[in-house]
A and B are shown apart, each in its own frame.
Chain A
Amino acid sequence: MSSATGHFVAQRVTAIVLVLLGSWFAVSLNGLDSFEHAIVVAFIAEPLNGALLALMCASLAYHSHLGVQVVIDDYVHAAGLNKASLMFSRISHLVVVALSIYAVFEIGTSA
């Protein structure tokens, strides 16, 4: 499979995952009694919720990077700057997903 086909497939697989997890997250957020700390933490600390949240954050970051990559390739043509932008996107997404999953894990284990 070429890397372009890989991109196409990964974008769609994460899209389908996110249709499900994104909808779940939107409905769950709306179902919370309030956005007070105790209530939000109790929600995240539920093992199933924590696992789904972590999975959602990973899928979001992956899907987001794939999309940003297309935008960068469309608009940033200078080879050096293109490479640097892609690297910046990759690192930013990794940092965001690491922080998110660590936070979910931290809440789950300390609750």
Chain B
Amino acid sequence: MSNTERPLSPHLSIYRWPVTMTLSILHRATGVAMSVGLVVLATWLVSAASGVDDYDQFVTLMSTLAGRLLLIGWSFAFFFHLANGIRHLVWDTGRGFEKRQANASAWFVLLLAVGMTVVYWMML
């Protein structure tokens, strides 16, 4: 006899993507993106040490549309990873694990990171 009331295993077609999963993936993605960005940070420092000509060449390169988009991307990655990193540090103390808290902090971190990126570039 089959029981139609029994719980079924989650089905991909009815699975609601939780926002916390987006944040988890973004934390890793922004981390890897910034690992690549370290090369640019080092290039900035080395070009500055090499003299004004090399430095100006670096600035010219980063002032192109592609360069600016990359810098904006890295700044968002920084602010997101910073805010979400603090969220992780709070979790390390055993707090904020309730589903509602985790969802709320997820949206908070996401909006904060976008907001900080916008404000940062407006102030620059």
Contacts and interface: CB of A to CB of B under 8 A. Distances in A.
Interface of A: 12, 15-16, 18-19, 22-23, 26, 30, 35, 37-38, 40-41, 44, 53, 57, 60-61, 64, 67-68, 71, 93, 96-97, 99-100, 102-104, 106-107, 110
Interface SS of chain A: helix
A22 B82 contact: yes
Nearest to B56: A37
B46 interface: yes
Interface footprint category on B: 20 to 34
Contacts of B112: none
Given A22-B82, A99-B42, A104-B49, 17 more contacts: A12-B92, A19-B82, A19-B85, A19-B89, A22-B78, A23-B82, A35-B59, A37-B51, A38-B52, A41-B48, A64-B38, A67-B31, A67-B32, A71-B28, A99-B45, A102-B46, A104-B45
Given A15-B89, A19-B86, A26-B78, A103 B120 contact: no
